Amino acid sequence: MITSTIMKKITISTLLMLSLCAAGAAAAPVKTPVKAAPLKPAPARPAAKPSAKPSAKPAAKIVAAKKIAPAPPVEAAADAPKAYPLQTIAFPGGVTMTQMVYRSLPGFRPLTLDLYQTSEKSFPRPGLVFVHGGNWVGGDPRHNGTFGDFPGLLAGLAAKGYVVASVDYRLSGEARFPAALQDVKSAISWLRDHTGEFNLDQTRIAIWGASAGGQLASLAGVSCGVTALEPPGDAKDKPASDCVQAVIDWYGIIDFENMWPDLGKPAPDKSIEGDYLGCEPALCGVGIARNASPLAYVEATSPPFLIQQGSDDVTVSPKQSQALYEALRAKGVPAELVMYPGVMHSFARSNAPPGTADPATNMAAMEKLEKFLDATFPKKPATSPYAPPKRQGLPY
């Protein structure tokens, strides 16, 4: 009986709950899905009101009407030398030095030169290109051997009537031979392309280098017309000549194949010359060391040379300078060899601590250089720079 009564109560409670749930469900409003309203288009941008004053530069109309021209190649930046001077310094005598980019190559730092010139523009002036030393691994256009204020010295030459350019180039850690030579040749050609801007007489350009720069200057001087050593470029381009009319070599390597025998030393396993060439001179493939040697290119058409070195040089044997002098004279090329007794590499004194300057030798070397240029260059510009016939191949 008790169980039956309990079951009845549970059943009645359950039915009551179900009834309440049903009633609540019936009373709740049925939710219908909301329909998204269509997006309204953005209001049209009002047209710009015409300006009361016409634009000074109608470039926008040209760009809108025509197809935009492609960006100029990387080297085009060097075609505007006055647009981006990196630095300008004033010297006594109305001389200014301006640092300029002369060559830009993809993947390399911009190559610069320091241009020294006066404000006097009455007549075109002969040019003098300096190539610094530093074992092809260092150095810069504003230092040279034991000379103290080298920029001041170059400015002094500019004050005496020259347009002077001190050139930077790629070092052996950046690119191997013939990259540095091609940079120097590019600088000469670039200067000729801008002779009017710099008041430069393109028919009278000399190149001057010391140590590693002496090798590059000598090679640039005797390899005029050797197409294999010219800077690579677009076949459509016709750059100005990279030939020079005079060369001053200060204690540069002239013959890589004989540099160690000339010093009476065995060839080392590793050398700075090997870093420059990409192989040790004694172990290079056939012709590589020879092709980098100025001695291999001497011809009757080579320009006049002034060769200067210390007789006690143990870095580059004086035999190298002697060999160059004899080769030039054998071809009938005007050449002068000056050996300074008791003087070492970089015109340093031999009876003093390494690198000690010898002011007397430095002064004598500069006086000789100026006399050589004065005697070699004609007093008036020629009609056009001399360019000998092209020589297609390398010596080996």
Query: Which residue type sits at 117?
Result: Q
Contact 231, 395 (CB under 8 A): no
Distance CA 211, CA 147 (A): 14
3-class SS of residue 349 = strand
Which residues are catalytic, by number?
211, 313, 345
Give residues with Cβ within 8 angstroms of 29, minimum separation 6: none
Query: Is residue 36 exposed (0-12), middle (13-18) or buried (19+ Cβ within 10 Å)?
Result: exposed
Sheet holding 200-210, edge to edge: 87-91, 95-103, 111-118, 163-167, 125-131, 200-210, 246-250, 305-310, 335-340
- Closest to 231 (Cα-Cα) out of 78, 83, 126: 78
CA–chain centroid gap for 98, Å, is 15
Give residues with Cβ within 8 angstroms of 53, minimum separation 6: none
Query: Is residue 174 exposed (0-12), middle (13-18) or buried (19+ Cβ within 10 Å)?
Result: middle
Copy the structure tokens of residue 323.
């060999």
Distance CA 283, CA 290 (A): 12
Please list the residues that pair with 117 across neighbouring strands. Answer: 96
Map tokens 């080579």 to a residue: 302
CA–chain centroid gap for 37, Å, is 65
* Other C-beta atoms lying within 10 Å of the C-beta of residue 282: 18
Give residues with Cβ within 8 angstroms of 336, minimum separation 6: 305, 306, 307, 325, 372
3-class SS of residue 80 = coil
Contact 340, 309 (CB under 8 A): yes
> Does an H or E element contain 306, and which?
strand 305-310
Cis amide linkage into residue 178, ω under 30° from 0: yes
